[in-house]
Structure 1
Amino acid sequence: MTRRKGERPIAVHLDTWSADRPVAQAIAPGSGWLDAWLGEKDTPIGRLSKLKGIPGGRLLTIAQGDRVSRTEIDALARAWSISSNALLASLPDSTCVVE
């Protein structure tokens, strides 16, 4: 997003996690959590990879069910303007997170 000289930056508010969000409804019937967030935030994998430095192949591996590190969770949370704890709450199983 570009701004003109002298314009103030746009304030970005953190999203919240709740069971009635569209991403939660996509995860409930079995859609992968990463795919659900990619769809909700309309973020192509290539753009997310460039934005946060996580290789595209790694993102595809996570989407297929591989474990995810806390550092990757933090990077994804920043990309989508959601807290890391809220993103962790959307994971179907907390054991897939590696500290």
Structure 2
Amino acid sequence: MSRRKGEQPIPRLLDTWSESHPVVHMIRTGSSWFAAWQMQKCTPTAKLARQTGIAAARLTAISHGDRMSRAELDALARAWNVSAGDLAGSIPDKRLVMD
């Protein structure tokens, strides 16, 4: 993102999870929770790996339904600009997040 000299950066507001969120529709129509967030936020795996510090192979495992740690969930939440609680709330199987 480029901006002019002296111009203030645009604040990034947290995305709020609700029943009317586009990710809800994607999950209901067959997308996995991970794919739905990845498509909504337009983050290729390589970029997501750089932003989160999670290896691309590990992200692929998570996207295929592997369990994840709370630290991984927090990193994904920061990358997708959503609270960790809202991201965890979007995961249909709560057993996927390990504390």
Q: TM-score range by the shorter chain?
A: over 0.9
Q: Secondary structure at the match of 1:24?
A: helix
- Alpha-carbon distance in structure 2 between the residues aligned to 1:43 and 1:29: 20
Q: Secondary structure at the match of 1:25?
A: helix
> Match of 1:78?
78
Cα distance per residue 1:16-39 (max 9 Å; x no partner):
001221211111233211101001
Which runs of 5 or more residues in structure 1 are unaligned? none
- Alpha-carbon distance in structure 2 between the residues aligned to 1:51 and 1:68: 17
Displacement of 1:5 in angstroms is 3.0
Cα distance per residue 1:48-98 (max 9 Å; x no partner):
101221110000000000001111111111111110000000000111101
Displacement of 1:13 in angstroms is 0.5
Which runs of 5 or more residues in structure 2 are unaligned? none
- The TM-score, its normalising length taken from structure 2, stands at 0.92
- The TM-score, its normalising length taken from structure 1, stands at 0.92
Q: Percent identity?
A: 49
- Alpha-carbon distance in structure 2 between the residues aligned to 1:36 and 1:11: 24
> Which segments of structure 1 move beyond 4 Å, counting only runs of 4 or more?
none
Q: Secondary structure at the match of 1:7?
A: coil
